[in-house]
Amino acid sequence: MSQAIVKTDYNFPGQKSVYKGKVRDVYNINDDYLVMVVSDRISAFDVVLPKGIPYKGQVLNQIAEKFLDATSDIVPNWKIATPDPTVTVGHFCDSYPVEMIVRGYLTGSSWRLYKDGGRDICGVPIPDGMKEHQAFPEPILTPTTKAEQGAHDENITREEIIKQGLVSEEEYLELERISLELFKRGSEIAKEMGLILVDTKYEFGKKDGEIYLIDEIHTPDSSRYFYADGYQERFDKGENQKQLSKEFVREWLMENNFQGREGEVVPEMTDEFVTEVSDRYIELYESITGDKFVKADVSEVVGRVEKNVTEYLNSL
């Protein structure tokens, strides 16, 4: 368990600054490149949990790598290279202050809102009479603001984004178009693997006047997947769907009376639970890619990352 990456403190060649997010530590190299180290930290309800999940960073980084490559014909993306199993090096972009969330099904937070009487998500009307895990007639876009570190992302409508000048109308409509195209491609790939891409989030930036897809894509941290086999039967019976996502961690926390609210305490994460979460991430990797997951050597994982990234940057 001790070999999970829970903290990084590197000083890479040309390093100008570092941003430490809930899961990813992003090193700015001279405003030219970004080195994204995908840690083994895990967050839920906007709280970083106290223990890392072995191999989680490798799983997320390698899934994102595959989907960035598989969608580069739709929109350029930030990735240049992956010099380490947990690291992507890419273009420095100015990021848009919104996240584009595409939902194909009424589930998770959208279902919780709907169950409590909400019939509108980010300005998108939701009809009466829908059931949990039901597919929308067409995927819907429900953007959020990009929160500062430690804060919650907030739902926002297209009209508010444009009115507040967060993104111009022309560019926002283009982000919508690209997001729906990416979701369609992701859904097609998932279907080939016997999965359903339920919902996901995309982040975008700009470089030299051009829109780039940045950060991760179609990973279990940013997306939710159902198994296609048995979906309809479980839906008809009103049963929970078998899914590959981080939702089972949220459900475990809720069962243990934690939703990130003031005064609540994170329940103890036993070694058995940590191993279970790690196995679930590896299962998703193998399910969505069709490849066997090859565990990297983690005996000196922090040093391994430093060596691989430094050698790569020195070669640029």
Answer whether residue 22 shows pLDDT above 50.
Answer: yes
Q: Band of the pLDDT at 147, cuts 50, 70, 90?
A: low
Whether 248 has a pLDDT exceeding 90, the answer reads no
Confidence of residue 246 (pLDDT cuts 50, 70, 90): confident
Chain segment 101-111, per-residue pLDDT in tens? 999 999 988 99
- In degrees, rounded to 5, the angle at the alpha carbon of residue 58 between the alpha carbons of residues 53 and 59 is 80
Q: Residue ranges of the domains in the chain?
A: 95-244
- If one counts every other C-beta atom within 10 angstroms of the C-beta of residue 200, the result is 26
* Mean pLDDT across 130-146: 96
In this structure, of 59-68, 140-149, 280-289, the range with the lowest mean pLDDT score is 140-149
pLDDT of residue 27: 98
SS3 sequence, the chain? CCCCCCCCCCCCCCEEEEEECCCEEEEEECCCEEEEEECCCCEECCEECCCCCCCHHHHHHHHHHHHHHHCCCCCCECEEEEEECCEEEEECCEECCEEEEEEEEECHHHHHHHHCCCCEECCEECCCCCCCCEEEEEEEECCEECCCCCCCCCECCHHHHHHCCCCCHHHHHHHHHHHHHHHHHHHHHHHHCCEEEEEEEEEEEEECCEEEEECCCCCCCCEEEEECCCHHHHHHCCCCCCEECCHHHHHHHHHCCCCCCCCCCCCCCCHHHHHHHHHHHHHHHHHHHCCCCCCCCCCCHHHHHHHHHHHHHHHC
Task: Say what the pLDDT of residue 2 is.
Answer: 54
pLDDT at 284: 83
For the entire predicted model, the pTM comes to 0.89
CATH architecture designation of domain 95-244: 2-Layer Sandwich (3.30)
pLDDT at 245: 75
% of the chain surpassing 70 pLDDT? 97
pLDDT bracket for residue 1 (50, 70, 90): very low
CA angle 201/175/56 to nearest 5° reads 25
Q: Does residue 177 register a pLDDT over 70?
A: yes
pLDDT digits (tens, 9 = 90+) for 271-288: 999 999 999 889 889 999
Which residue, chain included where needed, has tokens 């967050």? 43
Q: pLDDT band at residue 141, thresholds of 50, 70 and 90?
A: very high
Alpha carbon dihedral 274, 279, 280, 281, in 10-degree steps, equals 90
Q: What's the pLDDT score for residue 149? A: 54
How large is the average pLDDT for residues 164-190?
A: 97
Average pLDDT, the chain: 94
The mean pLDDT value for 238-251 works out to: 87
